Amino acid sequence: MNRVSSTPPDWASLPRSTPGIAAPEAGPVYEFYRGRRVLVTGGLGFIGSNLARRLVELGADVVVVDSLAPDCGGNPFNLADMRDRLQVHIADVRDREAMDALVAGCQVVFNLAGQVSHLDSMVDPFNDLELNARGPLSLLEACRRHSPDAKVVYAGTRQCYGRPLYLPLDEAHPNRPTDVNGVNKLAGELFHLVYGTAYGLRTCSLRLTNTYGPRQLMRHSRQGFIAWFVRLAMEGRTIQVYGDGRQRRDLTYVDDVVDAFLRAGASDAADGRVFNLGGSEPIALVDLARLIVAIAGRGQVELVPWPENRRRIDVGDVYSSYAAIQQALGWQPTTPLAEGLARMIAYYRQHWQHYVP
Ligand SMILES: NC(=O)c1ccc[n+]([C@@H]2O[C@H](COP(=O)([O-])OP(=O)(O)OC[C@H]3O[C@@H](n4cnc5c(N)ncnc54)[C@H](O)[C@@H]3O)[C@@H](O)[C@H]2O)c1
């Protein structure tokens, strides 16, 4: 793993312009990455590391940047077995000198660096502002100056919609975030769109829903409920579900999310667009908890009253329509929930000590 150096590498020989492809078929999408230089910010984290691994498999020249921000999901183990096949730079996307060097010559940038915890965003809103608004803006400035032809795909969130006025959520739903994280992530997304309209950068955003799978943080419970439920079940503990547990969510397995990023990065049809990713059939949280217990073969489920700090930012029933990305990029989730959970649990059985202190 490298600390980033301030001396820009010699990128001069690399092509500057990277026209994308129009066709949404999977074959050309995957071929697109062979030999291309691709930057993944937040690449030691959960989704970023899964994406970086897939890009290496597809023959891309992969550069990862991650600051290993405290309490976030960055984990060097996520890419440890790949260290000879990609570059990892421990640097902050807000570090201008570092990013100027790292974006130069990159043909696709996947911008996943960010802070995921909604609860933490309420406790320390300025840190969330730094990581989720200033961070993406800094990356875009580096691209504008040093890699204006790069395609930039942002990891947005359906949290920008807040409590739904109707379901399933589509991209026309008003943005009414219920927490600071939703506001800052929306700002991050809008910066990407503005850099498209104002400077001609080829940008787009994927609004992720609850994503789950291998390499997800399970050190603490503040980042997302799925990995925490999985950890509790695997430890034989009790999963506490708030209220009556009937609030429904859709979940997307991380390989499907990676596939959406690959399609968006390769296709001109994504430029200037915002797409929801949706997941499996919506499932009530109490049923999800029971399913995890059944697959793990351990643990139990209990309903408990809402803690006030979680109730005030809860969004109730939420699930998204993925019709727009299906139509534009041919994407749809393909991993059944039970299968994804089984794969996730099998991964943590094998690598438990790297995720649970
Ligand atoms: N996991 C989900 O369900 C979900 C849902 C919606 C949106 N998202 C978005 O997807 C992206 C990835 O999420 P994840 O679940 O993989 O989270 P994660 O915490 O596992 O990964 C995020 C990574 O970004 C890094 N990072 C944060 N700030 C940085 C900075 N300034 N410079 C460099 N690196 C920085 C962290 O160290 C971490 O490794 C985030 O932007 C998040 O908002 C995730």
pLDDT tens per residue, range 259-307: 999 999 999 999 999 999 988 789 999 999 999 999 999 999 999 999 9
Q: Where are the domains of the chain?
A: 2-213+251-276, 225-249+281-317+335-352
Percentage of residues of the chain with pLDDT beyond 70: 93
Q: Quick one: average pLDDT of 151-162?
A: 97
H or E, element range at 240: strand 238-242
Q: Which of 3, 41, 47 to mutate to test ligand 1, by most ligand atoms within 8 A of the CB atom?
A: 47
Separation of 264 CA from ligand 1 center, angstroms? 18
Tell me if 301 CB under 6 Å of ligand 1.
Answer: no
Is 80 exceeded by the pLDDT of residue 7? no
CATH 3.40.50.150 assigned to domain 2-213+251-276? The reply is: no
Q: Is the pLDDT of residue 6 over 70?
A: no
Residues 254-270 as b/e (b if ≥16 CB within 10 A, e otherwise) read bbbbbbbbbbbbbbebb
pLDDT category at 5 given cuts 50, 70, 90 is very low
Does residue 250 surpass a pLDDT of 90? yes
pLDDT of residue 313: 79
Q: What is the pLDDT of residue 315?
A: 82
Is the C-beta atom of 263 inside 6 A of ligand 1?
Answer: no
Q: Which two tokens stand for residue 34?
A: 């062979």
Give me ligand 1 centre to Cα 12, in Å. Answer: 30
Smallest Cα–Cα separation from 216: which of 120, 72, 54? 72
CATH architecture type of domain 225-249+281-317+335-352: Alpha-Beta Complex (3.90)
Contact of 140 with 192, CB cutoff 8 Å: yes
Looking at residue 279, what is its pLDDT? Answer: 81
Q: Is 66 in the pocket of ligand 1 (CB under 6 A)?
A: yes
Tell me which H or E stretch contains 112.
Answer: none
**Average pLDDT over all residues of the chain:** 92
**Ligand 1: centre distance to CA 115 (Å):** 5
Q: Is the pLDDT of residue 70 over 90?
A: yes
Q: What is the DSSP string of 43-70?
A: TTSHHHHHHHHHHHHTT-EEEEEE---T
Structure confidence at residue 312 (pLDDT): 82
Q: What are residue 152's DSSP bridge partners?
A: 109, 203
The pLDDT-based confidence of 21 (bands split at 50, 70, 90) is: low
Query: Is residue 9 pLDDT above 80, yes or no?
Result: no
Section 188-212 average pLDDT: 98
Please indicate whether residue 313 or residue 326 has the higher confidence score (pLDDT).
326
